[in-house]
Structure 1
Amino acid sequence: MPTSNDMQKVLDIQDKNIIFEDHCISYGIHKQKKCKFIDCTLTYIPTECKKCQTSNKAYTIIKNGTQTSRITFPMTGIYPTYLRVKKQRFKCKACEATFTAETPIVKEHCFISNFIKAEILMKSADARSIKSLSEETNVSHATIQRIINEKAKEYRPYYHSLPENLSFDEFKYGEGQMAFEYINVVSGTIVDILESKDTRTIKNHFRSRYSQKQRSQVKTITTDMNASYVSFIPELFPNADIIIDRFHFVQLVNRSMNKTRVKVMNRLRTSNGEDQKKYRRLKRFWKKLLKKESAVSYTAYQYFPLFGQRLEAAIISEMLAYDSELKETYRVYQALLKAVEHNDSKQLGQLLDQSTSPELSGYMKTSLKTLRAHFPHIQNTFYYPYNNGKIEGINNKIKVLNRVAYGYRNFIHYKNRIILHFNLKPVRNKLNTIEKGGECTAA
């Protein structure tokens, strides 16, 4: 049978005051579930009274019976595991007070072990629902959320300073509600998350949390083409350059090009056989028209359904010949992509000013009008190395958290989960790397 020392190693218990005896493991029913119970005794000789701090000399403190506590422990095997600890009670002759023996594996007046709390925090770094964490750790949903909320307090911003380079964006939560977040664009660290993205909330937040001097030290702010952000940034951050991320620029013209293709395609949806053929081609090979011209093949022959053995460039030219509006829009689209690819802000400015052809689609004209309005800020994307890539990646992970949880009704709970996810994930990955390195070394 296992000795006390063996059980301590199996359960990772470092407290030598906890003693296990033979036949300490038994099975029973708790909360209508079959469980595993591990019995042990916690006893030691205290050095002083917990209440009056009187030193334990000449038997000032005596033993006064025991008290059994059922402590939730990490699952060992396939059954929920509980540690039944028979804690020694003590009585002080000096103050007549009584107290119970303590152990570092669990806090005073608590019946959930610190091992369980650590397991909850480490697993909360993954994109998992509270329900799945509850089932694995054998504690309630409310307990898990309380542990997450308590830990998240350690990562609350102190609003002492702002990074020199910020990035703004928003994400959806709840029933169509939008939250605002801003991060350090260099490190990718979340600075804070606000419950609403309206201008009034954001302006009140920055004015109340940060002084004018702190806000004046911000040099750049990377954002999308949200007009409300562009309107209040100069007011809050007088020395900051606004950077319109090139991803949103490309996304805007890409959508305009695709809408133009759909418009022309639907125009060809007639009873005429030749038009039907053109319609099917435009519908099937829509990605070819959105592809960058520099990535199109001009030398390799391939077989394309509805076309036969052709060059990729040839089938694009044939589809563009179906409609002059589609052809002109494609020409402007490719010119814009080329200017961005080569970081040519001068060429981009000329394209935005000159692209007024009557054959250009209305979708692209609207996009060009938007780009002309934001052109001074779009130019900054060519001069600075910053973009919205990190904050967009953060938003994708935030959406995954929301999806696996089937939504959050309480924004504070959602925010705390996000904060822990992004702060504990690197720590967990580092620990896993160290453990794997140790195993490799041992091998």
Structure 2
Amino acid sequence: MSLTHSIGKFIDIQDSNIVFNEEFFHMGTFKGKKCKYISGKLSYTPTHCEACGVENQNDTIYKNGSQTSRITLPFIGMYPAYLLLKKQRFMCKACKQTFTAQTSIVKKNCFVSQNVKTLIVIKAAEARSLTSIASDCSVSPTTVQREINQAAKLFKPHYQALPEHLSFDEFKYAKGEMAFEYINAMTGDILDILDRRNQFTIKNHFIANYSLADRKCVKTVTIDMNAGYATVIKELFPNAEIIIDRFHLVQLISRSMNKCRIQVMNQFNKSNGEDQKKYRRLKKFWKLLLKNAMRISNTEYKHYPLFGQRTEGGMIEEMLEYSPILKANYVIYQSLLKAMTNKDFKALKFHVVEPVDPLISGYMRTSLKTLKKHLPYIQNSFIYPYNNGRIEGINNKIKVLNRVAYGYRNFMNYKKRILIHFKLKPFESNSKQKQPYSKVA
């Protein structure tokens, strides 16, 4: 194996027109940092003139000096690496123009190798800041953003037919600014992201990019309890069923129960020894009051601070005796939670529609009114198996991208970074992909 071939394999250069001699390597500095320099020479016999296109016959094109370019390479070991490439220059007798030898490792008039550009895109798919990626690739943050912009063009939405099942949600990308996104509820693929979540923006987007026939093919749309989405969905997707995400239903009543606990807890006189003990118990074991009754143990005894040797059920019974308001709210909370867990819509509707106990707190009353308002959509959440779990997970990753970048001033740059992060994820084989959901009887 020749020296040139060995060096080319080592630094991942596959252009046979580049040759290296025995003194190809030396250490140096660039911008005050220690780095590695690799020297090479690029030369070949051109077939035609790049300026006028005349063919190279009878020495029409001859060699005319050389030009050295410093090309950025990926790190070699602990140091940045640069290729000092001595490019052959040529003169054309026909047009009297000169041109320089070209190589596949770098584009014309560019000094960042293709390998570095590929590395930038790969690292951009990770949750890292532009400055961190730029430091690892020996380029500027502006160069990193430029390569992200270029790569994002490959993932530009084509606005073809819509999937049958959609999920809607929003996320915060700047102070007071909320972006809207919609995904395929079955595969989790991001379909598009809008910089606003108002009805006007959403309507214009779907009407401009999808025909009425495409929108009629949508069967379900899963949302949170945002009333604005329900209005838009009815107008845009005539045949779609609206599904309220089950997690948001549980979250709604859990927050109401917790606010009631805090309200009761703050009524105790902490200067009184007995009241202070009740206050501390309610404050420390708040999670126990929110726990599903079907998961509470009534037989297993353990030692708990402030209680001693007790079961979970015994602790809850004792805390509920502190206030009839707390007990009434706990009973309705557990009834609603049981109905949601068992997907028993009749039981849920009964507790929502029936007259409310006068001891129920204002927080829980408001939650019951909200549930009553969304009852038709809640019923769909018990019928269909779809939820917003995928889109909520996507939002968590999006927030991480925003946090590691210390925020984005430009929404389009943020959107491109999101698309690269999710579109470059490893492809799953068909055997690992989940089968389509079917409607539950």
TM-score when scaled to structure 1? 0.94
Q: CA offset at residue 306 of structure 1?
A: 0.8
What do the CA deviations read for 1:259-290 (whole angstroms, capped 9, x no partner)? 11111111124322111111111011111000
Match of 1:308 in 2: 308
Matching of residue 55 in structure 1 with residue 55 in structure 2: yes
The 5 A counterparts of 1:29-40 are 29-40=29-40
- Where do 4+ consecutive residues of structure 1 move more than 4 Å? none
* TM-aligned CA distance change 1:143 to 1:161, over 3 Å: same
Q: Aligned residue for 2:13?
A: 13
Does residue 204 of structure 1 match 2:204?
Answer: yes
Q: Which moved more, 1:71-80 or 1:413-422?
A: 71-80
Q: In angstroms, what is the RMSD of aligned CA positions?
A: 1.5
Is 1:97 aligned with 2:116?
Answer: no
1:245 paired to 2:245: yes
- CA positional deviation for 1:383: 1.1
Supply the distance in 1 between the matched residues of 2:327 and 2:355 (Cα, whole angstroms).
14
1:294-325 Cα deviation digits (max 9, x unpaired): 11011111111111111111001111111111
Residue of structure 1 equivalent to 2:364: 364
Matches within 5 A, 1:214-293: 214-293=214-293
Q: Which amino acid aligns with 1:181?
A: E
Cα distance change on mapping 1:159 and 1:191 into 2, 3 Å? same
Alignment partners' CA distance in 2, 1:269 and 1:219: 55
Q: Distance between the aligned counterparts of 1:51 and 1:402, measured in 2? A: 47
Instruction: Output the CA distance in 2 between the equivalents of 1:122 and 1:327.
Output: 55
Deviations 1:108-127 (A, max 9, x none): 11111011111110011110
Deviation at 1:77, TM superposition (A): 2.2
Alignment match, 2:423? 423
* Residues 322-337 of structure 1: pairs in structure 2 closer than 5 A: 322-337=322-337
Percent identity over the alignment is: 57
The number of equivalent residue pairs is: 428
- 1:342 counterpart residue number: 342
Partner of 1:433: none
Q: Deviations over 1:8-42 (max 9, x none)?
A: 11101111111111121122232232222111001
Q: Look up the SS of the partner of 1:359 in the other structure.
A: coil
The normalised TM-score by structure 2 is 0.94
Query: Is residue 74 of structure 1 aligned with residue 74 of structure 2?
Result: yes
Which whole-Å CA distance do the structure 1 matches of 2:337 and 2:51 have between them?
A: 75
Alignment check: 8 A CA contact 1:332 1:355 kept: no
Q: Distance in 2 between matches of 1:17 and 1:100?
A: 13
Shift of 1:362: 1.1
Q: Distance in 1 between matches of 2:384 and 2:49?
A: 64
For 2:266, the aligned partner's letter is N
1:112-144 CA deviation, whole Å, 9 max, x = no partner? 101111111001111000111111111111111
Alpha-carbon offset, residue 355 of structure 1: 5.3
The answer to whether 1:173 aligns with 2:173 is yes
Corresponding residue number in structure 2 for 1:436: none
1:434 matched residue in structure 2? none
Question: Offset of 1:257 from its aligned partner?
Answer: 0.6
More helix by share: 1
How far, CA to CA, are the matches of 1:175 and 1:25 in structure 2? 51
> Which blocks of at least 5 consecutive residues in structure 1 are unaligned?
431-443
Offset, 1:388: 0.1
